[in-house]
A and B are shown apart, each in its own frame.
Chain A
Amino acid sequence: MVRVILRRLIQLIATVIALMTLVFFWLRSLPGGPVDALLGERATPQTRELLTRALGYDQPIWVQYGRFLKNVVTGNFGNSIRTGEPVTEVISRAFPATIELAVAAIIIAIGLGIPLGYLAARHRGRLLDNATIIVTLVGISIPIFFLGYLLKDWLTQDIHLFPPSGRITTGLGNTDVTGFFVLDGLLTRELDASADALWHLVLPAFTLATIPLAIIIRITRASVLDVLDEDYIRTADAKGLRNATVRKRHVLRNALLPVVTTIGLQTGALLAGAVLTEKVYNWGGLGTLITDSISGGRDYPVLQALILLAAVVFIVVNLAVDLSYAFIDPRVRVK
């Protein structure tokens, strides 16, 4: 087990290096750049040259690349071109917001997806099953930004059920402990702040959860149907076990394997979806940071760090998923 983890960590490092290289050159091959973005169209050649030199972009590209690698290895991601703050600070401020959003979304997706998928499978071919198939198809097909604005318009403008944007009502003082507002409120016993943050979280989390939810429902349904056809379920029935025992002990655990894989793969979709969701609900997280860093100044250092972070999160989540197999399926443990 330790060897597996070690090997995966080495793979992680290799992936990160390859990705850093790609991102570095890819960002710089895009038309425009920080100098144009910062100075605007009417800048004189002199000021442009000055800024280019100040930012170090006058150096040959491979010198820039070498410096970038060296800095990353020492944990120095540089300063934001837009604000001048250290990149690590900018990111660590936005990181908890996105994690809070993504975790809430995945909790919704798993918490609703597995039971609904299971129910659909038990009702195969009947009304509930058919309804599920149609609704999940719609869920997968609707773009996040469209659904986001739709829900926002309906539930915050027409019916004032949820707050339209932000993470917490301004003025509701909550002490910053972890940066996760819901958790902070609980830790400091400011329950009103916690409830308010949770209330703000509902719509964005649900919006972000739709696609993974629909996919998890479908995978669970298909997987349960497969397992129900297995010989060992017939054996369990032949033992006369109660229906509930057969389901809990024999069906669910086997059916969960493909679902767990899907959850890992959905992390990527979740990170991508967060960019759109955060834009719609004005949620100050990594997604907002990415869009701002691209549109507002080609903030190379911030973008590079963000993309690396996303990659690392994705790889680590999938490593965790792989390790969780060992707990679910004893056949994996031996290999």
Chain B
Amino acid sequence: MALLDVRDLSVVFQRRGTRPVTAVDGVSFTVEPGQTVGLVGESGCGKSVTSLAIMGLLPRRGNTVAGEVLFENTDLLKLRPAELRDRRGRDIGMIFQDPLSSLNPVIPLGLQVAEVLERHQGRTRREALREARGLLDAVGIPDPERRLKEFPHQLSGGMRQRALIAIALACKPRLLIADEPTTALDVTIQAQILTLLKELVDNSGTALVMITHDLGVVAGLCDTVNVLYAGKVVERAGRHHLFAEPRHPYTDGLLQSVPRLDADRGGRLHQIRGSVSDNIPWSEGCAFAPRCDRVIDDCIGETVPLLGGALRCTNPVPKEVPV
């Protein structure tokens, strides 16, 4: 049984006086216990919105969420808000992109870690703080005793993200959702945080949904990768498969635009032309068609289905035939 089974998840933003925007358009994917799954795509493809919808953290006003989010066979979207609050932080933890703005500036770090233990594990403040000390230690924050009393602005960026990881994993959730956890960090710190995340989820058996635009992160971490474009999954594959043999032209474009050490010096990087706003609606064909190098007549007209549950393309990049 899958730990998390997202079925046909859709999120529509509707602000008064504007036309509705479909941010997530029928996304389905599963996460097995202990597995690491990547959601990859450029800004605006709906990956963050997907994670917020799973957690029930989208503002209720102006957003319509449809589909099913089955967590251990319970549909989180059907839970009452109070029931969902019981699960958030306990069964599912989440870490966010910007560690500074994600921590409360006026509350000491210790309480920000401890409060989640108080809430879900019935600890007293004193017990929770003692446990928080251990948690900060476990995520590699030096001198945790002192840090408990400090405020977020007194910590470095890397330490703040470590603290957020400690908070998210405090109650040993079975699923951790990481929404671009390294985007706001220095490259050296990025590597440390990723290593830490990998260690922690491997040791605890926590499943991880990794949301990122960084294919390097995917390569190092994920078992399965879902590539999102304009709110739909366009390609799904195991990590090795995806990197060795991308089939969707979008995935191919993303991979080619990663700088390579063995490429010619001074050569131009590959780029996908246009921007994410140059879309056609999925109902009129492939949303990526206006930017695609392999576009053919069949791409326009009607929605392209997710063939074999893994590839949404009428003219995919051919498999390399062994010569």
Listed in ascending order, the chain A residues whose CB lies under 8 Å from chain B are 124-125, 230-232, 234-243, 245, 249-250, 253-254, 328-331, 334
Q: B116 — which chain A residues lie within 8 A by C-beta?
A: 239-241
Is A241 touching B89 in the complex (CB atoms < 8 A)?
yes
**Given A235-B164, A241-B115, A329-B105; 4 other pairs, CB 8 A cutoff:** A238-B93, A243-B85, A253-B106, A330-B106
Count A-B pairs with CB separation below 8 Å.
83
Which residues of B in the span 75-91 have a Cβ within 8 Å of any Cβ on A? 81, 84-90
A333: nearest chain-B partner, CB-CB: B151
Given the contacts A239-B116, A240-B120, A234 and B151 also touching, CB distance less than 8 Å: no
A235: nearest chain-B partner, CB-CB: B102
Tell me the complex Cα distance, A249–B116, Å: 13
Is A328 touching B106 in the complex (CB atoms < 8 A)?
yes
Is A239 touching B115 in the complex (CB atoms < 8 A)?
yes
Tell me the complex Cα distance, A265–B116, Å: 38
Interface of chain B: mostly helix, strand, loop or mixed: mixed
Is B89 touching A239 in the complex (CB atoms < 8 A)?
yes
Given the contacts A240-B119, A328-B106, A329-B106, A231 and B101 also touching, CB distance less than 8 Å: yes
Q: Is B96 an interface residue (CB 8 A)?
A: yes
Ranked nearest first, the 8 interchain pairs of A and B with the lowest CB-CB distance are: A240-B89, A240-B88, A239-B89, A231-B101, A232-B104, A330-B151, A239-B116, A238-B94
**Could you list some 18 contacts between A and B, CB below 8 A?**
A124-B61, A232-B101, A232-B102, A234-B57, A235-B102, A235-B104, A237-B85, A238-B55, A238-B89, A240-B89, A240-B90, A241-B89, A241-B119, A242-B85, A243-B81, A245-B119, A330-B106, A331-B151
Interface of chain A: mostly helix, strand, loop or mixed: helix
Which of A124, A125, A237, A240 gathers most chain B CB within 10 Å?
A: A240
Distance in angstroms from A317 CB to nearest chain B CB is 23
Is B61 touching A125 in the complex (CB atoms < 8 A)?
yes
Q: Is B32 an interface residue (CB 8 A)?
A: no
Tell me the complex Cα distance, A145–B119, Å: 52
Is B115 touching A249 in the complex (CB atoms < 8 A)?
yes
Tell me the complex Cα distance, A334–B116, Å: 28
Distance in angstroms from B79 CB to nearest chain A CB is 12
Q: B103 — which chain A residues lie within 8 A by C-beta?
A: 232, 235
**Contact check: which of A125, A230, A241, A329 meets B101 at CB < 8 Å?**
A230
**Contact check: which of B81, B96, B119, B154 meets A235 at CB < 8 Å?**
B96
**Contact check: which of A234, A238, A240, A250 meets B107 at CB < 8 Å?**
A250
Which residues of B in the span 48-88 have a Cβ within 8 Å of any Cβ on A? 55, 57, 61, 81, 84-88
Tell me the complex Cα distance, A242–B84, Å: 10
Tell me the complex Cα distance, A238–B106, Å: 18
Distance in angstroms from B154 CB to nearest chain A CB is 8
Which residues of B in the span 96-124 have a Cβ within 8 Å of any Cβ on A? 96, 98, 101-108, 115-116, 119-120
Is A254 touching B105 in the complex (CB atoms < 8 A)?
yes
Distance in angstroms from B156 CB to nearest chain A CB is 15
Q: Is B129 an interface residue (CB 8 A)?
A: no
Q: Is B167 an interface residue (CB 8 A)?
A: yes
**Contact check: which of B61, B87, B106, B108 meets A240 at CB < 8 Å?**
B87
Tell me the complex Cα distance, A240–B57, Å: 10
Which residues of B in the span 243-280 have a Cβ within 8 Å of any Cβ on A? none
Is B57 touching A239 in the complex (CB atoms < 8 A)?
no
B91: nearest chain-A partner, CB-CB: A240
Is A239 touching B106 in the complex (CB atoms < 8 A)?
no
Q: A328 — which chain B residues lie within 8 A by C-beta?
A: 106
Tell me the complex Cα distance, A239–B61, Å: 21
Tell me the complex Cα distance, A125–B101, Å: 26
Is A239 touching B88 in the complex (CB atoms < 8 A)?
yes
Q: B151 — which chain A residues lie within 8 A by C-beta?
A: 330-331
Q: A243 — which chain B residues lie within 8 A by C-beta?
A: 81, 85
Q: A250 — which chain B residues lie within 8 A by C-beta?
A: 104, 107
Q: A232 — which chain B residues lie within 8 A by C-beta?
A: 101-105
Is B85 touching A241 in the complex (CB atoms < 8 A)?
yes
A327: nearest chain-B partner, CB-CB: B106
Distance in angstroms from A228 CB to nearest chain B CB is 9
Tell me the complex Cα distance, A244–B113, Å: 18
Tell me the complex Cα distance, A69–B164, Å: 60
Tell me the complex Cα distance, A241–B103, Å: 14
